[in-house]
Amino acid sequence: MAVYFDNAATTPVSDGVKEAFISALSLYGNPSSLHGAGSAARNAMEQARHTLASLAGCKEEEFYFTASGTEANNTAIFGIMARKAKQCRRVVLTDSEHPSVTECVRALEKNGARVVLIPTKGGAVDMGTLEKALSKKTALVCVMAVNNETGALYDLKGVRSLIDKTGCGAHLHCDAVQAFMKTPGTKRLLRSADTVALSAHKLHAPRGIGALIVKNGVSLPPYLYGGGQERGMRSGTENVAGAVAFATAASEYTEEKLATVSAVRNRIIDNLQKAGNVGFNIPAEHIEGILNISLYGIKSETALNCLSTEGIYISASSACSARKGVSSVLTAYGLEREGLLSALRIGISPYNTVEEADALCDALIRARERYGRI
């Protein structure tokens, strides 16, 4: 049986979510149809929206379903800049955002936007640099809630305070894909942003369903045109089963589940500390579900290949940037060459066990003993 610790990339669908998803597949009606089958599908969709909005701390009318977190980020970033392009063209973002944010900003830059990067050395937003970057020319600020490679929990409340203090009127967008339901105080965290991107497949739900929260008073143009679904924001026949699965998965992420994640994480750290010659790339403020280490003495790729042959799966960086070479996020974090070359990301789920933690650590040490060269 596989030992899966790549849960920051994606997660296996839980039994409860699978059951809810399969059951919802029987709701074959189009939610826009006026007959009974359509009403049943629409009711399930709206119940899912109600559940998720309550968990996210927003109003139901502020919660829009999308096909992914990437789509949600694109919708917010391009939408805000389309609204503000005539007044201001500056975009401020951290130097460790997800590619679904950075690639949007890169496209905007090619079309004339001025881009300012804010350092996140050590896993914290450089508030001094951010404050200097905020002015009436600043249209958009992008700060993720949790970094997908280091697990750093960024100070969104502090970012919001600076935006308000300067009076620049900038829009704050937050990629909260790695944060939603994975840290205490999710609701308080997300209230700081004007728009928020979410995704279901980080919570043991299927891929293909995400969400965008748009605070009342924020105006965004439609991203997809057509039948006017999602109150005109995102046309396309709704993914009812995906929405139901998303709501079920989020509801399953209880404090007890988070405690399990902490226990498994602590077991991994204890084991690797005993092994020695391991760097722990842990920000002061972080979530428990992402643990970044440098297994000194063996290259990341070599370690991954060794573990994979044993059916044990972790990663070296974000799955969305794994084929692009050395991680820019870890460089921004401040790792030196040896730490970068041996960096590994362990994504911990509530369904992992301490026995799996032991198996992972034993395999890592065996790999270094057999194939270590740096």
Instruction: For residue 307, give the 3-state DSSP assignment.
Output: helix
Q: Are residues 7 and 61 in the same domain?
A: no
Token readout for 64 is 């829009």
343-370 mean pLDDT: 97
Domain count, the chain: 2
Q: What one-character-per-residue DSSP string does 216-246 give? A: TT-----SB-SS-TGGGTB-S---HHHHHHH
**CATH number for the domain that contains residue 136:** 3.40.640.10
- Domain span at residue 159 reads 15-252
> Whole-angstrom Cα distance, residue 324 to residue 313?
19
Q: Are residues 210 and 268 in the same domain?
A: no
Q: Are residues 81 and 96 in the same domain?
A: yes
Residue 148 has pLDDT above 60, yes or no: yes
Domain boundary among 222, 252, 282: 252
pLDDT of 304: 97
CB atoms within 10 A of CB 114: 14
pLDDT of 12: 97
The answer to whether the CB of 65 falls within 8 A of the CB of 41 is no
265-281 mean pLDDT: 97
**pLDDT class of 324 with cuts at 50, 70, 90:** low
135, burial (CB in 10 Å: exposed 0-12, middle 13-18, buried 19+): middle
Considering 174, 306, 320, 361, which one is annotated as catalytic?
A: 320
220-249 mean pLDDT: 95
User: Are β-strands 312-313 and 3-4 bridged in parallel, bridged antiparallel, or unpaired?
Assistant: parallel
Q: What is the pLDDT of residues 190-229, one digit of tens each?
A: 899 999 999 999 999 999 999 999 999 999 999 899 999 9
pLDDT of 320: 47
Q: Among residues 53, 55, 57, which one has the least CA distance to residue 65? A: 53
Active site residue 320: yes
